[in-house]
Amino acid sequence: MNDEQQRAILTICLMAAFADGGNDDRERTEIQRIAQSLSAGTAIDVTAIYQQVLLHKPDLPVIAAALTEPGHRQFAYEMAVGVCNADGATSAAERDFLAGLARLLHLDAGAAQTLTREADALASAPLAAPALEGVVIAGSVNGAELDKMILKASIINGALELLPQSLASMAIIPLQMKMVYGVGKAYGFELDRGHITDLLATLGVGLTSQYVEQFGRKLLGGLLGKIGGGLLGGVGSAGTGAAFSFATTYALGQVAKRYYAGGRKIDAAGLKQTFTSMLGEAKQLQGQYTGQITEQARTLDVSKLLAMVKS
């Protein structure tokens, strides 16, 4: 894939992020930060693409025409679907954007609609997680068991980042939300999707921006492998991508543990400071679990996992 094709896919990705016009200032700021981060050390100025999308609204037919290979077109569509679904099931504006994109990319309409429906099902999956066995005993929380649950979720999300199926990557955010829900429930809090979304935004972990970052690091970091038939090639390197998802999930779980254990009394500044500290710790910790993440990626039954997420 050459630079022009990468720019085209990144442009489509960012256009998908703003397709419904619903991102708040925190999310826009986070996407801008990610664009600046992705621009560092690469030949592609992602910040310039961000500004172009935000201010000048590129001509989508021209952008789509730059993708001449079927595998590239399929991949661009899958990434757009993931971005649109990152913050919940697609809105009417997002569905219109995706339908138009599918036509411009000359994709099979039925297959494109199936992917969108599957992604919607993941994005709107119930928050309730499986029973917290061993975490809550006689009304008190077993912190060690809760840590095991957070670590397990982090390893699974690190593994999902390495898998070829686009829906595997789309499962990362729903699993993070299930984890936060489970942590809150362990401490007696019944959380809804809006509360969890707001908590993540406070920490600087926007839903749309997180998916943009996951995708951008894969595309520009050379972790995609050979694109074809909607897949990214086999299990990739357990490096940048796995570290990103592992660390974000682990830090999020640990911050949630402290927040709900303390009765939700930590202010926004304190939450951000704690998250930054835990993120640094998680990045160091990830090296110890690289083997487990890679093995999980090799043995994970994605169909069963997706069924569990949606149930």
Q: Which of 133, 22, 14, 151 is nearest to 80 (CA)?
A: 14
Mean pLDDT for the chain overall: 84
Neighbours of 247 (CB within 10 A): 22
Sorted by where each begins, the domain ranges of the chain are 3-123, 136-310
Q: What does the longest C-alpha to C-alpha distance in the chain come to?
A: 62
pLDDT at 88: 80
pLDDT at 234: 41
DSSP string, 217-284: HHHHHT-S-S-BTTB--SS--SSHHHHHHHHHHHHHHHHHHHHHHTTS---HHHHHHHHHHHHHHHHH
Element holding 269 (H helix, E strand): helix 268-286
Report how far residue 73's alpha carbon sits from residue 208's, in angstroms, rounded to the nearest whole number: 21
Residue 152 corresponds to which tokens in the numbers above? 């397990």
Residue 76 corresponds to which tokens in the numbers above? 């661009």
Q: Residue 136 pairs with which residues in a beta bridge?
A: 141
Decide if 77 contacts 16 (C-beta within 8 A): no
Q: 213 by DSSP, 3-state: which?
A: helix
| Dihedral in degrees, nearest 10, Cα atoms 310, 79, 100, 32 | 110
Residue entry with tokens 């999707």: 193
pLDDT at 137: 57
What are 216-240's pLDDT values in tens digits?
Answer: 877 776 545 433 333 334 444 444 5
pLDDT at 133: 57
pTM reported for the whole predicted model: 0.84
**What type of residue is 23?**
N
pLDDT at 225: 44
Q: Count Cβ atoms within 10 A of the Cβ of residue 165 and give its class: 0-12 exposed, 13-18 middle, 19 or more buried.
A: middle
pLDDT at 242: 65
What are 143-197's pLDDT values in tens digits?
Answer: 888 999 999 999 999 998 888 778 888 888 899 999 999 999 999 998 999 999 9
Decide if 123 contacts 102 (C-beta within 8 A): no
Residue entry with tokens 């085209």: 8
DSSP string, 9-49: HHHHHHHHHTTTS---HHHHHHHHHHHHHHHTTSSS-HHHH
pLDDT at 97: 93
pLDDT at 163: 82
Residue 290 corresponds to which tokens in the numbers above? 């690289």
Q: Which of 182, 185, 159 is nearest to 172 (CA)?
A: 159
| CATH assignment of 3-123, among 1.20.120, 1.10.10, 3.30.1360, 1.10.3680 | 1.10.3680
Q: Confidence band (pLDDT; 50, 70, 90) for 24?
A: low
pLDDT at 254: 96
Q: Residue 228 pairs with which residues in a beta bridge?
A: 231
**What type of residue is 238?**
A
What are 32-90's pLDDT values in tens digits?
Answer: 888 888 887 678 888 899 899 988 789 999 999 999 999 899 989 998 998 888 888 78
What are 246-304's pLDDT values in tens digits?
Answer: 999 999 999 999 999 999 999 999 999 999 999 999 988 888 998 999 899 888 888 88
Of residues 206 and 179, more confidence is placed in 179
- Rounded (5°) CA angle 272-275-280: 130
Decide if 69 contacts 35 (C-beta within 8 A): no
* Main-chain phi, psi angles of 21, to 5 degrees: 65, 15
